[in-house]
Amino acid sequence: MDRIRINGGRQLNGEIRISGSKNASLPLMVAALLTDQKLTLHNVPRLADITTMLQLLGQHGVEIGAAPGENGHAHATTLTLQAGKISSTTAPYDIVRKMRASVLVLGALLARERVARVSLPGGCAIGARPVDLHIAGLKAMGAKIDIDGGYLVAKAPKGLKGARFTFPKVSVGATEDLMMAAALAKGTTVLDNAAREPEITDLARCLVAMGVPVEGIGTETLTIQGVDKLKEATYSVIPDRIETGTYAMAVAMTAGDVELLGGRLELIETVAQTLRSAGVTLEQTERGLRVHRTNGALQGTDVMTEPYPGFPTDLQAQMMALMTRAEGASMITETVFESRFMHVPELARMGANVTIHHESALVRGVPRLRGAQVMATDLRASVSLAIAGLAAEGETTVNRVYHLDRGYERLEEKLAGCGADIERLKG
Ligand code: UD1
């Protein structure tokens, strides 16, 4: 298993190109299942999770073409996906267990083929993460869903019907799943208390490009008019706001000055406000987002994770790593997922002072962190350890890098390009 070795204490200065959004790309790729026509997606990042989704779509019968990206983005990919015929309506355990977002094929397969068999995702490192909202929404649209042998077995022999569904809790995945199901349902579907993440907006815009009328884009009420057939479309994925926020925090950690090429301030407003309170400067430039902290210490700042437009849970671990070196204390409260503090004992091994009380973590800033061998059990927790390593004295080795590879494209190259002493150790 690969590891990443970091010698801390170097400032980050220069440029980092922000990749296309992973969490936007995954549902957009699933949208290809809705039609026998071609869907072309630009600016797809090169990540393990994208490969897993391609594997899943491939076994459903999707023909896949991949080419280097447009606009000189040597590392982005342009995908062409065409589901001329669905050859299998089963999403097998072996793929779904690797990536929870695989569950998103449920709504699309059911809407198009009227049957779907999708493995339950099973255990997950960050909380229980059930799929009850996906099930309740599809049932409201007329599906019958049973659980058999660890699989969700869904049927809608006469097709799905448009319905009004109010989410009892905001869920990104369930909103996306139901939007895709609604695209091929008979009549109109109204989704209330829908998630408003930019990735949802991206999916809505892509559905519109595929010929599905969607109203209320960017609001908590989405109205989707089902159609008989979707048409060929081309769509370009938004830049990754979580990657943007992660590098902004890495730069802040090292008191550096970096332009995040392609980064968009309006996608991380709440994060930017929080970072400003902590003493970091962020400004939109023509080419992206400039982040710098060239004088003054970091200030302890409280954070509470919430659905968009609140502070994203996917940046909580990175923010905590940053706050370990701030002056004063910060209270970090996680309201989206239970048990999403697995990075805390690892940060403590590097000298961080963090106390957990229920869903809050009290971080008291320390004058220095020390390098250590660390490992994490999820993607964002792993990158938080890399951020801590950038500022720690001596050598940090982050084990189980496959978590990082799920969501960060060429992390070590991007950081090394700005002056970090970082390398991947193979094996
Ligand atoms: C997506 C993101 C993930 C991010 C999360 C929250 C992708 C591929 N992943 O995950 O990176 O951390 O949004 O911003 O886009 N819940 C239920 N029942 C359900 C579904 C969810 O109770 O049927 C709960 C979850 O346990 C969690 C909360 O709802 O507590 C939010 O989860 P959700 O928004 O669905 O997250 P994902 O779509 O899995």
pLDDT digit string (tens) for 87-122?
Answer: 999 999 999 999 999 999 999 999 999 999 999 986
Whose CA is closest to atom 33 on ligand 1?
171
Q: How many Å apart are CA 196 and CA 188, to the nearest integer? A: 19
**Ligand 1: centre distance to CA 41 (Å):** 24
Residue 52 near ligand 1, beta carbon < 6 Å: no
Q: How many Å apart are CA 181 and CA 204, to the nearest integer? A: 12
Q: How many Å apart are CA 343 and CA 321, to the nearest integer? A: 9
Helix 132-140 to helix 172-183 angle (10° resolution) is 30
Q: Report the run of H or E that residue 54 belongs to, with start and end.
A: helix 48-59
State which amino acid sits at residue 289.
L
Q: What distances in angstroms separate CA 286 from CA 266, 290, 322, one per listed residue?
A: 14, 10, 27
Number of H helices, E strands in the chain: 14, 24
Q: Which atom of ligand 1 is nearest to the CA of 127?
A: 26
**Ligand 1: centre distance to CA 26 (Å):** 14
Say what the pLDDT of residue 167 is: 98
- Residue 128: other Cβ atoms inside 10 A: 9
- Residue 28: other Cβ atoms inside 10 A: 28
Residue 131 contacts residue 110 (beta carbons within 8 Å): no
Whose CA is closest to atom 30 on ligand 1?
337
Say what the pLDDT of residue 124 is: 55
Whose CA is closest to atom 29 on ligand 1?
171
Q: How many Å apart are CA 397 and CA 4, to the nearest integer? A: 6
Q: 384: closest CA among 417, 345, 331, 414?
A: 345
Say what the pLDDT of residue 376 is: 79
Say what the pLDDT of residue 73 is: 55
- List 303's β-bridge partners, or say none: 332
Reading the block at residue 21, the tokens are 């959004």
CA dihedral 131, 132, 133, 134 (to 10 degrees): 60
Point out the residues of the chain with pLDDT beneath 70.
Answer: 69-75, 122-128
**Ligand 1: centre distance to CA 171 (Å):** 5
Q: 65: closest CA among 38, 27, 46, 37?
A: 38
**Ligand 1: centre distance to CA 414 (Å):** 28
Residue 247 near ligand 1, beta carbon < 6 Å: no
- Residue 122: other Cβ atoms inside 10 A: 11
Say what the pLDDT of residue 121 is: 84
Say what the pLDDT of residue 3 is: 94
Reading the block at residue 220, the tokens are 């908590």
Whose CA is closest to atom 35 on ligand 1?
171
Say what the pLDDT of residue 128 is: 64
- List 281's β-bridge partners, or say none: 292
- Cα-Cα end-to-end distance for the chain: 5
**Can you tell me whether residue 43 is helix, strand or coil?**
strand
- DSSP notation for 271-330: HHHHHHHTT-EEEE-SSEEEEE--SS--B---EEB-STTSB-GGGHHHHHHHHTTSBSEE
Catalytic residues: 124
Say what the pLDDT of residue 125 is: 61
Residue 173 near ligand 1, beta carbon < 6 Å: yes
CA dihedral 101, 105, 106, 110 (to 10 degrees): 170
Whose CA is closest to atom 15 on ligand 1?
23
Say what the pLDDT of residue 362 is: 98
Helix 172-183 to helix 105-113 angle (10° resolution) is 20
Residue 23 near ligand 1, beta carbon < 6 Å: yes
Residue 101 near ligand 1, beta carbon < 6 Å: yes
Q: Which atom of ligand 1 is nearest to the CA of 176?
A: 38
Residue 130 near ligand 1, beta carbon < 6 Å: yes
Question: Cis peptide leading into 309, omega within 30 of 0?
Answer: yes
Q: How many Å apart are CA 134 and CA 152, to the nearest integer? A: 11
Say what the pLDDT of residue 395 is: 98
Residue 198 near ligand 1, beta carbon < 6 Å: no
Residue 305 near ligand 1, beta carbon < 6 Å: no
Say what the pLDDT of residue 270 is: 98
The bridge status of strand 421-425 relative to strand 257-261 is: unpaired
Q: Which atom of ligand 1 is nearest to the CA of 199?
A: 15
Q: Which of 270, 336, 403 to mutate to test the pocket of ligand 1 (most atoms within 8 A of CB)?
A: 336
Q: How many Å apart are CA 101 and CA 104, to the nearest integer? A: 6
